[in-house]
């Protein structure tokens, strides 16, 4: 029976991986334990051994192609076995998104994932046999043999650690299905038992930070020491990671918002009988920024550390302030929405944020972010990039100022704009061009029609 070789999950947070090389050519015979291929993630490189004797029948995922955990990379056939080839998978280009790769079949034949071992440390056949018997994932075992090789004793030690872990049956099922390493979980049940919520906290952290921080904020004293935890900790980690990993530069400019203010007032007057009608300056900004980003896709970019991806679609992160901290849900496909649709969808998102009902989808996939301080006395500030995004626009208050127009002074509603961008990805000139377009759009919103 043939075995499908799947992309192994090598760590808690691993979602995708790359085959960096195949050690064996298609059609070649392999023995159990032979190195088959090497997997590379952003953190680690691992060699994967053949789970059985056989022939590497087909390679489905070529080197340098990134695929999701669990995607089928190749097929190992028994010697002489005739297996149907999987068509159309190996030719996909290297830039294919992570979800690509071969489709994962409903049920896999034989062991689902090939056996893995940490870099530099292979595993002894006895260790592998024991691991199989005890259901231990070798990826979680630290080798103490020569060159870090995993030996039988290491598997036994791991089994004893796992065996001592107290966990409820339901939590164990959910953790196993998600491929979580139990020894990384912190139990909060009676006597430190791992309960379902402890597993959920790792799998769905977004459900917990807001609630935990709200409770902590409510009970925390106004002065004195406050532990850095929950949402505060998440924000702290994100902000520091952003500042440490990107070259951030902020450009500022002012936009004449008088026409936009008039436009909104006019829309509101026309719809004053409709109690559900809502339109705010933020909605107009999302529309204008989306249009400007479509004109300057270099600012609508994300960076994974190796490849800059410039996006045609605008998925706009909209920072929403909650009592316990800031969340940034994403308005997906903002570029395809009209003004009223933006107004409606943003309100739905903000509502979900306030009720703590944001889904992981709501929180991911952003290509640019707007952060709004219009309800304060702030004109300009230095926004911090959302990690991975090329730009973030900080919006200040709208305030009437004297402005020289056509040689004479006039009172105009002015707004400060602060654009932070990642100087690694772009230089100042294209960022300034984007800002210029945006200022023009806002000063003359009729341009948004084109």
Partner 1 sequence: MYDVVVIGGGPGGYAAAIRASQLKGKVALVDNADMGGTCVMRGCIPSKIWLRAAELLEQSRKAGEFGLELTVGKLDLDAVLARKQGVSNDIRMGMNALLGNNGADVVTGKGKITSPTTVEVDGKKLETKNIIVATGSTLDMPDIPGLKDAAFTTDQLLDMKKVPASVLITDPTYIGVEMATLLSILGSKVIFAVPGPRILPDEDQDSSQRLAQSLRERGVQILARHTLVKVAGKTCTLKSGDKEQTVDADKVLVSARKPVTDGLGLEALDVKFNDDGGIAVDEQCRTACPSVFAIGDCTGGWMLSHAASAMAICAAENCMGTAAKFPSHLVSRAIWGIPQMGSVGLSEEQAERKGYEVEVGGFPYSINGYAMLRGEVDGAVKMVTDAETGEILGVHIVGANASELIGEAVLAMQLECTVREFAKGFRVHPAFCETVVDAARDAAGWALYLPKRG
For binding to partner 1 (CB under 8 A), which residues are involved? 168-171, 173-174, 177, 195-196, 211, 214-215, 218-219
CA 320, CA 357: separation in Å to the nearest integer?
A: 13
Q: Which is nearer to partner 1, 216 or 249 (CB)?
A: 216
CA 218, CA 239: separation in Å to the nearest integer?
A: 24
- Least distance CB 168 / partner 1 (angstroms): 3
Q: Which is nearer to partner 1, 212 or 378 (CB)?
A: 212
- Least distance CB 177 / partner 1 (angstroms): 7
State the catalytic residues.
423, 427
Burial of 340-355, coded b for 16+ CB within 10 Å and e otherwise, reads eebbbbbeebbebbee
What separation, in Å, do the N-terminal and C-terminal C-alpha atoms of the chain show?
Answer: 60
- Least distance CB 111 / partner 1 (angstroms): 21
- Least distance CB 221 / partner 1 (angstroms): 10
- Least distance CB 197 / partner 1 (angstroms): 9
Q: Which is nearer to partner 1, 171 or 284 (CB)?
A: 171
Residue 260 near residue 281, CB atoms below 8 Å:
yes
Q: Which is nearer to partner 1, 146 or 221 (CB)?
A: 221
Backbone angles phi, psi at 6, to 5 degrees: -105, 155
- Least distance CB 77 / partner 1 (angstroms): 31
Q: Which of 257, 389, 261, 262 is nearest to 314 (CA)?
A: 389
Q: Which is nearer to partner 1, 219 or 406 (CB)?
A: 219
Tell me the two tokens of residue 426. 């772009």
CA 389, CA 369: separation in Å to the nearest integer?
A: 8
- Least distance CB 200 / partner 1 (angstroms): 11
Q: Which is nearer to partner 1, 166 or 423 (CB)?
A: 166
CA 89, CA 72: separation in Å to the nearest integer?
A: 10
- Least distance CB 330 / partner 1 (angstroms): 21
Q: Which of 368, 259, 369 is nearest to 313 (CA)?
A: 368
CA 368, CA 289: separation in Å to the nearest integer?
A: 9
Q: Which of 267, 434, 272, 274 is nearest to 338 (CA)?
A: 267
Q: Which is nearer to partner 1, 171 or 279 (CB)?
A: 171
Q: 3-state SS of 324-356?
A: CEEECCEECCHHHCCHHHHHHHHHHHHHHHHCC
What is the DSSP pairing of strand 35-40 with strand 16-22? antiparallel
Q: Which is nearer to partner 1, 78 or 206 (CB)?
A: 206
């Amino acid at each position: 029976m043939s075995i499908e070789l799947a992309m192994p999950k090598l760590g808690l947070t691993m979602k995708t991986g790359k085959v960096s090389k195949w050690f064996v050519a298609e059609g070649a015979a392999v023995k159990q334990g032979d190195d088959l291929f090497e997997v590379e993630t952003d953190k680690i490189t691992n060699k994967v051994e053949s789970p059985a004797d056989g022939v590497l029948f087909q390679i489905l995922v070529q080197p340098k192609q990134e695929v999701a955990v669990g995607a089928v990379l190749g097929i190992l056939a028994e010697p002489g076995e005739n297996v149907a080839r999987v068509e159309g998978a190996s030719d996909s280009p290297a830039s294919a998104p992570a979800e690509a790769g071969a489709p994962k079949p409903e049920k896999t034949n034989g062991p689902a994932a090939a056996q893995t071992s940490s870099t530099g440390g292979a595993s002894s056949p006895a260790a592998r046999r024991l691991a199989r018997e005890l259901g231990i994932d070798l990826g979680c075992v630290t080798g103490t043999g020569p060159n870090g090789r995993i030996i039988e004793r290491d598997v036994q030690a791991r089994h004893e650690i796992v065996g001592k872990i107290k966990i409820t049956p339901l939590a164990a099922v959910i953790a196993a299905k998600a491929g979580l390493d139990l020894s990384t979980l912190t139990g909060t049940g009676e006597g430190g038992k791992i309960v379902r919520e402890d597993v959920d906290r790792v799998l769905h952290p977004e459900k917990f930070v807001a609630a935990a921080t709200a409770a902590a904020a409510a009970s925390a004293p106004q002065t004195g020491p406050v532990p850095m935890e929950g949402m505060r900790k998440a924000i702290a980690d994100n902000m520091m990671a952003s500042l440490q990993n990107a070259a951030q530069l902020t450009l500022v400019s002012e936009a004449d918002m008088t026409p936009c203010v008039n436009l909104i007032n006019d829309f509101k007057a026309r719809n004053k009988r409709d109690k559900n009608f809502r339109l705010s300056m933020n909605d107009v900004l999302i529309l204008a920024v989306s249009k400007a980003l479509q004109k300057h896709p270099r600012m609508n970019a994300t960076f994974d550390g190796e490849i800059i991806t410039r996006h045609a679609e605008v998925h706009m992160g909209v920072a929403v302030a909650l009592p316990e901290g800031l969340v940034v849900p994403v308005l997906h496909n903002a570029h395809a929405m009209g003004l009223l649709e933006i107004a409606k969808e943003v309100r739905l998102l903000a509502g979900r944020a306030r009720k703590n009902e944001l889904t992981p989808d709501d929180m991911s996939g952003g290509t640019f972010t707007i952060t709004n301080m219009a309800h304060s006395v702030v004109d300009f500030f230095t926004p911090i990039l959302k990690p991975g995004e090329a730009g973030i626009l900080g919006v200040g208050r709208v305030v009437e100022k004297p402005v020289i127009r056509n040689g004479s002074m006039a009172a105009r509603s002015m707004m400060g704009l602060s654009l932070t961008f990642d100087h690694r990805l772009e230089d100042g000139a294209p960022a300034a061009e984007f800002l210029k377009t945006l200022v023009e759009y806002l000063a003359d919103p009729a341009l948004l029609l084109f």
